[in-house]
Amino acid sequence: HMADFAGVPRARAWPQRYLMDCYVGKVIQWPQDAIAGYPALGGLRYHSIGDPATVASVVSVLGPTLDEYKAKWLLFRSLGWNHVSSKWSPQYMDDYPPDTSSNMLASVYALEKALAAPPSLRAAHFTSRATDLANYFSKGLYNDLSFGGNAGYMLLQLQENLRPTWEEGWAMWRELMAAWNDPAWTQPAYKSQAFVIEVSRKSGYNLIPFFEAWKWTITADTRAQVASLNLATWNYNPVTAL
């Protein structure tokens, strides 16, 4: 599912990665949910996560509790590093690590596609979403270490609201991620501007006000290119719709 989302023609993950990531999560025992790359933080706790049977249960059983959903999301997120690339992260979207936001989006996609997790659980996946975004919009600090997660929230706002259905929202993102493999998009000075143009083009809306609300710098050339598309402006305020 992550390869499908990323427009990758083949699966990159290798089976040993499941146990390796779980083992790392057990050894490091990071206490903060902000570093949510490892399933040790997902409700299974540190004492059992290294057991292969426990790992298998995380992958195969969709449990009814929030902790079990969260554990599975964290596992997908950890595996996602096989499928995302720093070249997919435009300027302004990430600080550390450079591909956090695209991995977050891929992880949500995989969880909902592979395990049929209901979209209503998103609020549970990101329990601090409103708080984090309110803090970001009040400060606008691109070097805030939490902004990798905030950028993920920004991407989810687009996926959740730009299309009539969530599946159509995911279809738009699959197209965008496939286009993102174009080498022209990987130039650092162009990535964020290309992102604004292409998301506007594929969504059918002028998204410049949306990105400006996220405190992105929009160049005159980008404004001209988006204006030439003759698109209606998207009437959505990310600041008030946390």
The residue written with tokens 């989810």 in the block is 156
Give the pLDDT mean for 39-66.
40
Question: 183: which residues sit within 8 A by CB, 6+ positions away?
Answer: none
Residue, of 124 and 238, whose pLDDT is higher: 238
Give the pLDDT of residue 48: 37
Q: Which DSSP string corresponds to 41-93?
A: GTTSHHHHTTSHHHHHHHHH---SSHHHHHHHHHHHHHHGGGT--GGGS-TTT
The pLDDT of 209-221, averaged and rounded, is 90
Q: How confident is the model at residue 228 (pLDDT cuts 50, 70, 90)?
A: very high
Q: Which residues, listed in sequence order, are joined to residue 70 by a DSSP beta bridge?
A: none
Q: What would the pLDDT profile of 15-26 be if each residue is shown by its tens digit?
A: 444 444 444 444
What pLDDT is recorded for position 63? Answer: 46
More confident residue, 81 or 47: 81
pTM above 0.75, yes or no: no
Residue 218, pLDDT above cutoff 80: yes
Q: Find which of 27-31, 86-90, 237-241 is predicted with most confidence, using mean pLDDT.
A: 237-241
pLDDT band, very low/low/confident/very high, at 226 (cuts 50, 70, 90): very high
Q: Is the pLDDT of residue 10 over 60?
A: no
pLDDT of 117 > 50? The answer is yes
Both tokens assigned to 223: 């404004």
Q: What angle do CA 49, 54, 59 make, to 5 degrees?
A: 105
SS3 236: coil
- Residue 204 confidence (pLDDT): 93
pLDDT in tens, 140-165: 655 454 455 677 778 888 988 888 88
Name which residue leads in pLDDT, 44 or 126: 126
Confidence of residue 201 (pLDDT cuts 50, 70, 90): very high
Domain boundaries, the chain: 2-180
Look at residue 40 in the predicted model and tell me its pLDDT.
35
Q: Which residue has the higher pLDDT, 153 or 55?
A: 153
Decide if 204 contacts 168 (C-beta within 8 A).
no
Parallel, antiparallel or unpaired: strands 205-206 and 232-233: parallel
Task: Write the CA distances from 138 to 82, 209, 214, 231, integer angstroms.
Answer: 34, 17, 11, 29
What are the phi and psi torsion angles at 230 (to 5°)? 55, 55
CB < 8 Å & 24+ apart, contacts of 121-127: 121/66, 121/69, 122/156, 124/66, 124/69, 124/70, 125/69, 125/70, 125/73, 126/152, 126/153, 127/33
For residues 179-191, average pLDDT: 66
pLDDT score of 178 more than 70: yes
